[in-house]
Structure 1
Amino acid sequence: MNDHIGFDGRVAIVTGAGNGLGRDYALELARRGAKVLVNDLGVTGAGIGASSAAADDVVREIRDAGGEAVASYDSVATREGGAAIVQTAIDAFGKVDICIANAGFLRNGRFEDLSDEQIDAVLGVHLKGAFHVAQPAYKAMRRNGYGRFLFTGSASAMFGHAWQANYAAGKGGLMGLSHVVAIEGSAYGITSNLLLPTAASRLAAEMTDGFKEIPAFADSIARSDRAAARGRTSPEYNTPLALYLVSEACRETHGIFSQNSGRYAKVRIVAADGWVAPVADAPPTIEELARQWDAVCDPTIEHEPLTVYDEFTAASTAARRQGVI
């Protein structure tokens, strides 16, 4: 049986493709037949400076291997830049099939000390930057009745990391964005998923160990078992998952997926069955809710709503189970 996953005839945009994760995604997409738009502004891991060299080097490597690629040095942080990225792909290759929103950088600091500049710059690239590229890409995909989006989230948002409130807020926003793109895109052959990658990359160099001042967080670092991570923290370990999620073979959408130490896993957001207040003319008192707190938090039964309206069904299911309706 031939189970090869290829990208012949597909056009992919990868932002932040000059280094690290994005670079490896772009190279592997090209090896498997995709035509690739390599976008990179050429900034440092803190988002400083600009250079065409990073994107040019990746394009050269793809072309030297017989693939097709073009470079883009536009910034995702502006609407004009995002539109230019997509238009460059269309001008070069005629369409857009795949969009991997990977561009980003870190500017760490204590939550209470983060300045507007530290917040706005990070949100501008990670969250607004994803909008700026994805919106014109979505329009192009909708016209063709096919598309694959992959937004780059982070365990820092899903699970938490001290001194990264700005970064986590941006990455958390991408979760909501991906979910909505998945719902709306389902009418037009477009899927969308969120990837939580783990890798030792340039961004790690921007992190100091000041966050160890938080005792509970420092303890979690000390207790972490990294046996499986040995030799498995390079960016390449994320590529199989990223490329599968943007392949024609993948039917997954509206999902969150994690790669850590060579472990590939779906991440779910679920709600407990909870406690349903008795039918009455008024809501329960705070004290009544407090008495039922164990039931509110009991994980024995869980629901996984995939839209806002699914939660109404989950609430009614719990109410029937508990004999309230």
Structure 2
Amino acid sequence: MKLNIKNETSRLRAVILGTAESNGPVPSIEDAYDPKSLEHIKAGTYPTEEDMVVEMDAVAKVFEKYDVKVYRPKVIKDCNQIFTRDIGFVIDDVFIKANILPDREEELNAIQYVIDKIDKDKVTRPPEEVHIEGGDVIVWNDYVFIGTYRGKDYSDYIVARTNQAGVDYIANKFPRKKVKSFNLRKSQTNAMENALHLDCCFQPIGKDKAILHKNGFLEEDEYQWLVDFFGKENIFEITKEEMYYMNSNVFSISENVIISEKNFTRLNSWLRENGFIVEEVPYAEIAKQEGLLRCSTLPLIRD
């Protein structure tokens, strides 16, 4: 398999879509990875496997409609394997295995059969001290945008997933790319104040547009850089509540086709007004784990 990912929106040909099968019991409060999951564990509203399987099947049907080759992870009993974006990502024709939270290593093993189809020279894994997850990496033509957390208390946050070493690793590995990093707002306890990954508060769409949430960024000048880069008139600015429901975490099949959650009324209307075809799916249950459509997809080949 020859990989090709130059940006977020070129026509998709092959993707790994996560699975909610055998998702396991509701996690304990101590085992919650993020504040939103924690909120739903405490409230007794954590999503059921049955509901999440239905939601992911809806996405698989959209991919089928657009003739996209879909790979799924091998099912591991009682393991949450929904968020494939965390465990790996592609830049150009290189597959990077992410250094994820240690107890998620088996998720990577479950997609090894796909990785085995790729030229071994085009598969890489950063050294242990390099922390980086796919949700923090946005490939945009000449640029790679990377979400990080630069606070001295980085190691205190389970929601801080990409460190400065991760940014440096990508910059060294892809010297022809312009690597731009963004310091993200993190909270262990308040999902409204937590940008778990860069794609929770920013995502490019189409040829020149973007979805953006200002409060996700700790440095105003970094947020402003994105506004200037895309142009204010090309940006859909989402509210704190819309960020909470993951409005920036849609997924592009092509420059004019976007998969979006059916309850994103304001966003979906704006997308259609701007000429996009919006494929609406139910994904509100999966959103309870602080991840949505981009988080549960790992694109391998785009035209």
TM-score, with length taken from structure 2? 0.32
Higher relative contact order (CA 8 A, sep 6+): 2
Higher normalized strand content (fraction of residues):
2
The structure whose residues are more often helix, as a share, is 1
